[in-house]
Amino acid sequence: MENKIMILDGNSLLFRAFYAMPPLKTKKGQFTNAVYGFLSMMYKLIDTYSPEYICVAFDPKKPTFRHEQYKDYKATRQKAPDELVSQFQLIRDVLEVHNIKCVEIEGFEADDVAGTFASAAEEYGAKTYLVTSDKDYLQLIDNNTRVILTKKGVTNTEEMSIERMNEEYGITPAQFIDLKALMGDSSDNIPGVGGVGEKTALKLIQEYKSLDNIYENIDNIKGKLKEKLETDKLQAYMSQGLARIITDIPIDFNIEDYRLKKPDAKSLLDLYDQLEFRNFKKRIEDTTSPENVQEQSQMSLFDAAEVDEDVNVNANNYVDTSIIYVDDEKKIIEIAEDIKKTKKIYIKFLLDGDRALYSNAVAIGISDGIKIYYIDLEKISEEKVLDILKYIFVDGTINVSGHNIKNEVIYLMRNNMELNGISFDSEIGKYLLNPSESSYSIDKIAYEYLKEDILSENEILGTGKKGITFRELDLENKKTYLYNFINVVIRTEKLILSEIAELEMTDLFNLIEIPLIEVLAYMEFIGFKVDPDMLGVLGVHFQEKIAELEKVIYELAGENFNINSPKQLSYILFEKLNLPVIKKTKTGVSTDAEVLEKLMSEHEIARYIVDYRQMVKLNSTYVDGLKNVISKDGRVHSVFNQTIAATGRISSTEPNLQNIPTRTDEGRELRKAFVAENGFVLCDADYSQIELRVLAHLADEKNLIDAFINHEDIHTKTASQVFHVDMEQVTSTMRSRAKAVNFGIVYGISDYGLSRDLGIPRKEAKQYIDNYLSFFSNIDQYMKNIVEQGKKDGYVTTFFGRRRYIPELASRNFNIRSFGERIALNTPVQGTAADIIKSAMVGVYNRLKNNKMKSRLILQVHDELIIETAGDELEAVKTLLKEEMENVVKGFKVRLESDVNVGGSWYEAK
């Protein structure tokens, strides 16, 4: 049997994998998608071809002989993205662990190495397989050499032989060089003959057989084509030289140096741990188990490749491969009885809309972890189904798992039912593991953990005007989607939970994040009452204010114009009033908020334009916007997002109630429209300077801790140190500036940022910060330590153990690295504050629920909780709020304090 050597084009395959794979990266921010894709290709090829010898050829970093021949060779190529560049050395390290040699020869490209090795291997009687995405390799095909071209994705390939070459192009491998000489190659910036593309070049080669013969018979070629060939003759021959692959680099070649060896299993496991390649790791563990192999220290790459196509790598127990359709009540009763025994349920409601609050269920997916059922609510009464399953949902001893399970909680609340016993949510779990990702969709989790491609909801239903609902989708596609969804939750649950445990975040997950799901669902379900009449009054007031501002702006401009038009505004400011241009954009001179702020010292019109924009936004976004989202019950039901903010904070959308303006009188007046129901009042409790208290504890800053213990005014205390005066001598301006320093420090503010915020010289701002850190010296040291720790570990943590990975800290770009340092400074403080308020929310909600009180938690805004409080429960709620909020953390050096205010509207309560 003849031996085979496989030579992989390292650069080509790495690029192919990078762009074919999703942007996988480790929790520390190391991108790994190219490496993962490369390995998937390599394992599949080894499994398919079983080569005895293997190596990977790479391009050198320095220019090659082709650059000397043609200075513009590859000159048009864009620089590889940083996310890929960081994987160049990584793949070499990975190949080293596999005992696969990397070959790089100065002055020559990877294809020259491959061509030389293919030629040399023939002397050993070995057949050569060249793996690449570069068609230039086709010229190397002969009776002893095949080229394996990558196709779509990372594991699809096509083997090219002399025969296949003739079928595809109608030319021989040797003629491919002349084909490239004529048509050129834009990717390598090989010019070829101007105006001659692949189609024309092929016809010429098929007819005349070679470049030389074309020019020998140039008079037989007519018209513009002849003119083009004659004009670019020298260029064509130069291109021929550039396109020809070298097959005789002067090197010593011993095929035994490249024999495929078995890698060490332990080293591979360690490597895959580091790269977080769970699927590859599991395959190694499976193939090295006692029942599978005799030698524990080694594994076969072929075994690893063998299971690459396995789509049922199951992290839990075995899951049935098809969904069971249910459309009769008796079967549902049987399912319910089985689940009562197993004490485990996975659920997914298929809704016909985006929000559970306003949608109807089309089907219920339910599983015990083995069998997955599709309960068709279009065939059976929803009321009957829910009545049968009610015990399972409300029991509390049955562990419930799902993905974005808040939807199920809200839907059941609408049906006067609770969902107790929630123990796992894959979306929340994945968010906890890496809070900086843009999405935690079930299809993304399927790919990351199981390397399976399942269609996303958008891919199935479509988007925009062409989008449909699950009710309109055909039954088979609904069943497939529901099966895939629940199947992924089942099979990733243990994987995600084990990662959470490994990172010591189990308590954070079980005691804060999971209980919070019900709290947010309830807040979303209950909503916040809005007085439309008050919105109308505010709208009239805002419109009057807008009209007044318009009049002033027109007078200052000397003419009427469209203030909302950047073009017209730009003309007024920079041409008519001749104000200095601060910033330019692609479309012209900028008139954004930052520019207007800087122009305030040049002309008073800038201040009025800023005020005008603020009033227009208040009116359109909040007055008109809120009117449009008031539900039939007279309340707005905001969506509370648990997996958006990287710091752990909760966010609010549709509408964003956390962003109601508070800095201006008009902004604060908007809160007058948020009111309590008849017989209720709003009880508003907010933490007193929670982030500074958190900073005092984390930094162990005695001066700040003592100030809190002694109930001193923190900003006055800070002002006395920043300005070197006694506390009695601190003016309101000093205190205001000290307040900016206090909160700026928490957010890692720079002297430039502080100078801009306060409108003072940068040197003065730097002096403020220096004085502050001189007095609060432990904060200074803490800030330095946390940044260094972040750089060392790749992440920072909150008091509760929440992690945030900060790959920006490793960036070579100064601005990006500085941004990472600010994140490192801010996250432990802001993240801890977020954990505190979330923990308090869980405590407050449970107290209200367990005591069967009429009062209800309806909103959280940063460090503030609002309870719509029954009149006869007011004192109990005030006590409850303070107890839960102030005693939520154990072991803090600073006592948490909260202030409670009461009113009929949010404005009055604040």
Confidence of residue 465 (pLDDT cuts 50, 70, 90): confident
- 284 and 342 part of one domain: no
Residue type, 343: K
List all residues 6 or more positions away from 645 whose beta carbon is below 8 Å from its beta carbon: 435, 651, 834
The mean per-residue pLDDT over the stretch 475-494 comes to: 94
- Give the model confidence (pLDDT) of 382-391 as tens digits: 999 999 999 9
In a domain, 839, yes or no: no
Q: Which has the higher per-residue pLDDT, 125 or 303?
A: 125
- 343 and 455 part of one domain: yes
The mean per-residue pLDDT over the stretch 104-124 comes to: 93
The mean per-residue pLDDT over the stretch 206-225 comes to: 90
At residue 333's C-alpha, the angle toward residues 327 and 339, to 5°, is 115
Tokens at 833, concatenated: 């504050």
In a domain, 847, yes or no: no
Phi and psi dihedrals of 256, rounded to 5?
-65, -20
- 142 and 157 part of one domain: yes
Helix (H) or strand (E) holding 408: helix 406-414
The mean per-residue pLDDT over the stretch 591-619 comes to: 91
The per-residue pLDDT for 296 is 39
**If we measure between CA atoms, which residue out of 738, 734, 762 comes closest to residue 750?**
762
The per-residue pLDDT for 285 is 64
- Give the model confidence (pLDDT) of 716-770 as tens digits: 999 998 899 999 999 999 999 999 998 888 777 888 888 888 888 899 989 989 9
Residue type, 428: I
CA 535 to chain centre: 37
Instruction: Please state, in angstroms and rounded to a whole number, the distance separating the CA atoms of residues 443 and 174.
Output: 46
Domain enclosing residue 395, as ranges: 323-502
Does residue 531 register a pLDDT over 90? yes
The per-residue pLDDT for 290 is 42
Confidence of residue 594 (pLDDT cuts 50, 70, 90): confident
The DSSP bridge partners found for residue 129 are: 6, 146
Does residue 83 register a pLDDT over 80? yes
In a domain, 228, yes or no: yes
pTM above 0.85, yes or no: no
Could you tell me whether strands 145-150 and 680-687 are parallel, antiparallel, or unpaired per DSSP bridges? unpaired
Tokens at 23, concatenated: 């942007």
CB neighbourhood size of 874 (10 A): 16
The per-residue pLDDT for 816 is 86
Q: Which has the higher per-residue pLDDT, 348 or 272?
A: 348
The per-residue pLDDT for 295 is 41
Mapped onto helix, strand or coil, the DSSP state of residue 688 is coil
In a domain, 62, yes or no: yes
In a domain, 330, yes or no: yes
Mapped onto helix, strand or coil, the DSSP state of residue 2 is coil
The mean per-residue pLDDT over the stretch 295-307 comes to: 41
The mean per-residue pLDDT over the stretch 700-724 comes to: 92
CB neighbourhood size of 28 (10 A): 16
Distances (CA, A) of 675 to 323, 535, 872, 881, 908: 48, 11, 18, 19, 9
- DSSP per position, 595-637: HHHHHTTT-THHHHHHHHHHHHHIIIIIIIHHHHH--TTSEE-
Helix (H) or strand (E) holding 55: strand 53-57
CA 557 to chain centre: 46
- 365 and 383 part of one domain: yes
Share of the chain above pLDDT 70, in %: 96
For 749, counting Cβ atoms within 10 Å of its Cβ (0-12 exposed, 13-18 middle, 19+ buried), the class is buried
Taking 3-state DSSP, the helix, strand and coil percentages for the chain, each rounded to the nearest 5, stand at 55, 15, 35
Q: Which of 502, 519, 544 is the last residue of a domain?
A: 502
Q: Which of 306, 333, 366 is the last residue of a domain?
A: 306
- 243 and 270 part of one domain: no
The mean per-residue pLDDT over the stretch 621-625 comes to: 91
Confidence of residue 866 (pLDDT cuts 50, 70, 90): very high
The per-residue pLDDT for 1 is 57
- 336 and 400 part of one domain: yes
Instruction: Please state, in angstroms and rounded to a whole number, the distance separating the CA atoms of residues 475 and 139.
Output: 51
Q: Which residue has the tokens 């390292």?
A: 10
The per-residue pLDDT for 198 is 87
Does residue 14 register a pLDDT over 90? yes
Instruction: Please state, in angstroms and rounded to a whole number, the distance separating the CA atoms of residues 274 and 852.
Output: 50
The per-residue pLDDT for 343 is 92
Q: What is the mean pLDDT of the chain?
A: 90
CB neighbourhood size of 716 (10 A): 17
CB neighbourhood size of 814 (10 A): 8
The per-residue pLDDT for 286 is 57
In a domain, 740, yes or no: no
- 31 and 120 part of one domain: yes
The per-residue pLDDT for 291 is 43
- 283 and 398 part of one domain: no
The DSSP bridge partners found for residue 324 are: 373
In a domain, 51, yes or no: yes
- HSE-up of 596 (CA within 13 Å, CB side)? 18
- Give the model confidence (pLDDT) of 550-583 as tens digits: 999 999 999 999 999 999 999 999 999 999 988 8
Does residue 303 register a pLDDT over 80? no
- 247 and 116 part of one domain: yes
Q: CA 459, 463, 467, 473 torsion: positive or negative?
A: positive
Tokens at 464, concatenated: 């925009």
- 161 and 14 part of one domain: yes
**If we measure between CA atoms, which residue out of 356, 521, 517, 510 comes closest to residue 858?**
521
**If we measure between CA atoms, which residue out of 43, 44, 22 comes closest to residue 31?**
22
Provide the number of structural domains found in the chain: 3
In a domain, 806, yes or no: no
- 250 and 266 part of one domain: no
Distances (CA, A) of 90 to 93, 137, 274, 816: 5, 25, 11, 22
Q: Which of 221, 241, 257 is the last residue of a domain?
A: 257
Q: Which residue has the tokens 């999405």?
A: 439
CB 146 within 8 A of CB 160: yes
**The total number of residues written for the chain in this structure:** 910
Sheet containing 344-351, strands listed edge to edge, beginning at the edge strand earlier in sequence: 323-326, 372-376, 361-367, 344-351, 399-402, 422-425
Share of the chain above pLDDT 90, in %: 64
Could you tell me whether strands 803-805 and 795-797 are parallel, antiparallel, or unpaired per DSSP bridges? antiparallel
- Give the model confidence (pLDDT) of 423-462 as tens digits: 999 999 999 999 988 889 999 999 888 878 888 898 899 8
The mean per-residue pLDDT over the stretch 655-668 comes to: 86
**Which CATH number belongs to the domain containing residue 352 in this structure?**
3.30.420.10
The per-residue pLDDT for 72 is 84
The DSSP bridge partners found for residue 588 are: 585
The mean per-residue pLDDT over the stretch 606-629 comes to: 93
- 218 and 297 part of one domain: no
Does residue 308 register a pLDDT over 90? no
Confidence of residue 322 (pLDDT cuts 50, 70, 90): confident
- Give the model confidence (pLDDT) of 788-841 as tens digits: 999 988 899 999 999 999 888 888 788 888 899 999 999 999 999 999 999 999
